[in-house]
Every structure is written in structure tokens, then in C-alpha cells.
Amino acid sequence: MIRDDLAEAVRSALVALAVEPLPEQVAMERPANRDHGDWSSNVALASAKKAGRNPRELAAQLVDHLNADLPAHVESVEIAGPGFVNFRLAPTWLHDVLTEVITEGEAGYAAPDVGGGKAVNVEFVSANPTGPVHAGHARGAAHGDSVARLLARTGHKVTREFYINDRGVQMQLYGASLAARKAGEEPPEGGYQGEYITDWAAGMPDDVDPVAWGEDRALADQREVLSAFGVDFDVWYRELSLVEAGLIEEALADLRERGVVYDADGATWLRSTDFGDDKDRVLVKSDGELTYLMPDIAYHRDKFSRADQLINIWGADHHGYVARMKAAMSALGHDPEELDVEIVQLVDLLKDGEPVKISKRAGNLIELRDVIDEVGADAARLTYLLQSIDSRQTVDLAVVASQGMENPVFYVQMAHARIHGIARRVVEAGVTRVPLADTDLSVLVHEREVELLRILSDLPDVVAIAARDRAPHRVTTWVRELAGAFHGFYHDCYVIGDGVSPELTQARLWLVESARIGLAIGLDLLGVSAPESM
RNA sequence: GCCCCUGUAGCUCAGCUGGAUAGAGCAUCGGACUUCUAAUCCGACGGUCGUUGGUUCGAAUCCAACCGGGGGCGCCA
């Protein structure tokens, strides 16, 4: 890669200039301002002090040294500002980028192996098995799945997991609600009021356990709608299976053995304050029942037996639970860093500017299915992945469903459709693409062409950073940039037609193909498909 | 009271492992279709990056305090 080549050239220049100590690494960055060249390094600024040099002088010496023997693709090296070393490159470096994209393809380009096969378990959604997946789960579903895609692309062995809370009083209430509706009665006090209860109860056979049947019914529904959303889990883990396997007792025994639990007030406590929590937590209540925490600890303990790294995607209303979960894992001897809890801030759902209230009790919840029906899975996913999960999001279904300019989904999908439009046009014209090796890429010098390639060259870094920071929205931002650059190219640079030489057509066909690959990689990471025509 | 997230253009948001005049879309105003989809492109307008200090050659970015917004603090799940 060009960046490594440039960094290496700078490093050997530093050595030649007897700079001591040598910096740990030579940072190369892309200046925001194009007047500052194609690549820039701040080494002179960063290492001058330690080396006892004047930054501006050091930079000048570096520039002289580099200009004396220019690295490949470099046209000139200049000093700027307080001591930046700026590289101005010939477009040929971008032609190398094009070749790299084409050669490595959809599977190979921008797939840095930073994971080294590390096993990562991503647990998300984990809705209660008492009803359909609702809109409140959607942002976490889109985010978790995209994080999983990013990790898989960057050399991790990924498991997508859904935890099923099928133990506890809510299941009894759920079963009783189904039974009541089937008998034509009102659900019990504190039961489930949703319309789906009546619908589902109508299909419930007479001779079944309403709780077990209801769980299966809910899970089938959840699985179906999540799949329609592009989210498929590898593991559906039932809390009851923890009980059946005796893993809860095992986990408690493990904690006792480690001396991190104690009995007080008739209850059993975890000494979580020893591990960074602000208070100790009850594991077994004085009435002998388990708290919610205990099975959760056993569950995470089991996940650690199956993976090196755990990632949990939780809603903002669960953030208070993070410290105690991490404390519990520390108590079990794990590095708290090995449990990464991602908190997804809430989504305010609007419809035509009016807030949509979600209340499970009242039963007026918006199902994920409704969102998909209304705006489509692609539009919904891209919308949820538009911004950082750290900030609260407002989603107006009317806007997402609209095909207007305020909707970025169509902008991106249009770019993809136009690429296929070109392909169709080329077929009509009877033109065939010659092999890349026989194509003269040096004709690609238009600012639009160059810009497209510059953006494509950023993708490997974007993917690496997005995976590291669990930040799929970085990919969204990049995809929108690429789409923008493509629309600009499409407008100004015809691939085929009068006034376009056969050589230029060939080069541009490969350029369009590289854009298609970039778009395909980005959209796949987001779990968004793109139509070939619109 | 304590904890987490957040405050960037009229609106919605990028940018945050510190870098050189802070970006995009929408909105407003003005331009561009005889050729691959004008669902597009180009230009203009628009910002003391919540406030005050600190660290640094350099801060939207790091640190502290304060102010504003959202969420959470159960022997509930």
C-alpha cells in the first residue's frame, strides 16, 4: 500500500538524518485540504522535541532528502506550515488502487485480518419470548448484525447469539394470557393485552401447555421477522437450558469457591464492590428464588467457555446493569475488557411528525414487522445505521418511507442502479470489457475519476476502524460519500457514447466495476441490498 | 445525590487514537437534460464546534468544572 511505502521512505530518511530517538511509527494522513497534497506526515512536528531538533528545520531536511530520491508515484515533496511534510502524487497511485480493488474483489478488498481468527460472540436483540419483536429492538438488531458482519470481515470467528429469557413469572403470565384469550376471557391481572395474544391463542391446540407452546410460537415469529430484516442468528440460547444443564448451580459454586459470595439477611450476595460495582448484589433472594442476575452470570460464564471475546448489545435502559455484569465476570477471573457491552441509545419513533408511543402493557406496540412493511428492510436498516448509537435517534417512518431527497437510501441505491444501467447500455452497444491487464488506466485523470478512486482507497481503513470501534455508521458515511462521488462521475464522465474513445470506455468500465465492488462491500456490511434498477 | 450518553450551520447529523481556512444532506436562493435513469449534478447563503479554564508547537477532538437535553440507579425482569 502507498501509505506504507511513504512511511517507510520517511523512516529511512529519518535514519539517514540521524534522528534519535526514532519515532515509534511514522503517521501518514490524508490532508483535508487538497492544496496540501495527497498524503502528509507530521513526523517532524511529532518527533522534533524528543530528538532535540527544530521542527521546521527537520522537516526541510526530510523534504530535501526525499526529493533527492523520490518514492514511486511521488511527484514532489514539500514543506508546509509549522513542519508538515506533504507528498504530491501522480494519479498512477490511484490506478494501483483500482487494480487492487479489482484483483482482490468483493471478498478480498478491505478485509484486513486484524482478528487473527479470534472467536467473538455477539449477543443482541434477546427479546422476551412473549410476543413479536417490536420497533424498540430494531436499532439494536441492525447494529448488532452489522457489527458481526464487520468482525467477520476483519478476521474474527463470529457467533450471533440470541438469549431467550424463558424462565420466570412473565412466562406464566404469558401462558395464562394465551389460555384466557383462547377461552374468550380477559387476560389475568398484569397479563399481556396485545392483539397478537388473541390471534395466536386462536391457533393454539387444546392439549398443549400454553407456556411451552407460546414460547415456540413467539420464537417462530421473531425468527421469521428478524430474518426478513436480514438478521439470522447462529445460536438461540434458552435460559431454561441453563437450568436443565445445572449451569446455574455450577456458576454459583464457582463463585463460592473463589470466595466472592457471602450470606447475609437470609440472602446470598456477590461481593461485586470488590470488582468495581458500587454495591454488592443479591444472587439468591431470602425466599430462595434466584435474582435475574444469577442466571445471567451463569449464561455469560457459559459464553466465555465458547468465545474469547463477548459483545453484548443492550438498550440504554439497561446501562445500569453493565457495572455489575462486568464485576461478576471479573469475579470469575475474566478480564473485564473481554466483555464489551455496547449501549444503544433510544429511538424516538415518529409518524408524520407525531410521536408513536410504545407500551407493551397497553398492547399498542409497533412491531418490527410493521416497520418493514411500511418502509422496507433496506431503508429501515440504513436509517438505523445512519448515526452513532451513542446519540439518541429520531426516526420518522413517513420520511424513511418517502422516496424524496431527504432519504439517503435512495441516493445510495440509485448509484448502484446506475452502475447496472451502464452495464445494460454496454451490452446494447455490443461492447465487451477487455482484461484489466490489457487496459490503459493512465487515461483516468478526470477529477471525478480521481476522486472516486481516492474514496475507494479509504475503504480498508474505514472497515478496520468501524470494526475496532463497533461503529457501522462509519461504513454508512463512507458509502454515502462513494455514492456521491459516483453520481458526480456519472454526470460528468460518460462511459460510452459519442466523444468517448474506446480506450477511455475500457478504462472507465473498470473504474465503474471498482465502484460497484466498493458499494457492494459497504452495503453488505450494512446488511442493505441494492436493486439493479429502480 | 451518584452513574451512562449527549450539546457542531435554521433542521437532521458526520468529523473525536489532536494537526494546517470545521463537512454533508435538508431548507432558502440561482444555475445545468439532443447521449449511460434530472430519484442526478454545479454554485450561493449559512457555524465564537454549550460555557469557562487546563494540557500542547497545535484542541471540535484530550482533561477539569459548570450549564442544558435524554436515560438509569430494586432481595423487578
Which nucleotide is nearest, taking the CA of residue A390 and each C1'?
A: B5
Q: How many Cβ atoms sit within 10 Å of the Cβ of residue A443?
A: 17
Q: Are residues A444 and A373 in the same domain?
A: no
State residue A519's pLDDT score. 96
Identify the domain boundary among A90, A111, A142.
A90
What is the extent of the structural domain holding A464? 408-526
Statement: the CB of A392 is under 7 Å from strand B: yes
Distance CA A385, CA A397 (A): 15
**Is A502 a member of any domain?**
yes
Q: Are residues A356 and A427 in the same domain?
A: no
Q: Which nucleotides of B are covered by protein (CB under 7 A)?
A: 2-7, 12-17, 19-27, 35-42, 57, 69-77
Q: Are residues A459 and A513 in the same domain?
A: yes
**Is A232 a member of any domain?**
yes
**CA A204, C1' B24: Å apart?**
52
Q: Are residues A150 and A56 in the same domain?
A: no
**Is A154 a member of any domain?**
yes
Q: Are residues A427 and A487 in the same domain?
A: yes
**Is A199 a member of any domain?**
yes
Q: Are residues A357 and A221 in the same domain?
A: yes
Q: Are residues A31 and A180 in the same domain?
A: no
State residue A405's pLDDT score. 67
State residue A87's pLDDT score. 95
**CA A158, C1' B8: Å apart?**
36
Minimum-distance residue to B72 (CA–C1'):
A320
Q: In what order do the strands lie in the sheet with A309-315?
A: A235-238, A156-164, A118-123, A309-315, A339-344
Statement: the CB of A406 is under 7 Å from strand B: yes
ipTM of this predicted structure: 0.95
Which residues of chain A between 344 and 373 are close to nucleic strand B, CB under 7 A? 345-346
**CA A415, C1' B40: Å apart?**
10
State residue A112's pLDDT score. 95
**Total count of domains within chain A:** 3
Q: Are A360 and A191 in contact (CB under 8 A)?
A: no
**Is A19 a member of any domain?**
yes
State residue A268's pLDDT score. 96
Q: Are A271 and A324 in contact (CB under 8 A)?
A: no
**Is A483 a member of any domain?**
yes
pLDDT tens track, chain A, 534 positions: 899 999 999 999 999 998 888 888 898 999 988 888 999 999 999 888 888 888 899 999 999 999 999 999 999 999 988 899 999 999 999 999 999 999 999 999 999 999 999 999 999 999 999 999 999 899 999 999 999 999 999 999 999 999 999 998 899 999 999 999 999 999 998 899 889 999 999 999 999 999 999 999 999 999 999 999 999 999 999 999 999 999 999 999 999 999 999 999 999 999 999 998 989 999 999 999 999 999 999 999 999 999 999 999 999 999 999 999 999 999 999 999 999 999 999 999 888 777 876 555 455 668 999 999 989 999 999 999 999 999 999 998 888 888 776 788 999 999 999 999 999 999 999 999 999 999 999 999 999 999 999 999 999 999 999 999 999 999 999 999 999 999 999 999 999 988 899 999 999 999 999 999 999 999 999 999 988 888
Q: Are A496 and A431 in contact (CB under 8 A)?
A: yes
CATH code: domain of residue A146: 3.40.50.620
Which nucleotide is nearest, taking the CA of residue A42 and each C1'?
A: B19
> Which of A307, A296, A238 minimizes the C-alpha distance to A270?
A296
**Is A308 a member of any domain?**
no
Q: Are residues A418 and A514 in the same domain?
A: yes
**Is A371 a member of any domain?**
yes
**CA A422, C1' B41: Å apart?**
17
Q: Are residues A18 and A130 in the same domain?
A: no
Contacts of A260 (CB under 8 A, 6+ apart): A270, A271, A274, A275, A331
Number of helices and strands (H, E) in chain A? 19, 15
Q: Are residues A144 and A203 in the same domain?
A: yes
Statement: the CB of A400 is under 7 Å from strand B: no
Q: How many Cβ atoms sit within 10 Å of the Cβ of residue A447?
A: 12
Statement: the CB of A265 is under 7 Å from strand B: yes
Distance CA A407, CA A323 (A): 38
Q: Are residues A519 and A424 in the same domain?
A: yes
CATH code: domain of residue A470: 1.10.730.10
Name the 3-class secondary structure at A268. strand
CATH code: domain of residue A19: 3.30.1360.70
State residue A510's pLDDT score. 97
Q: Are residues A356 and A452 in the same domain?
A: no
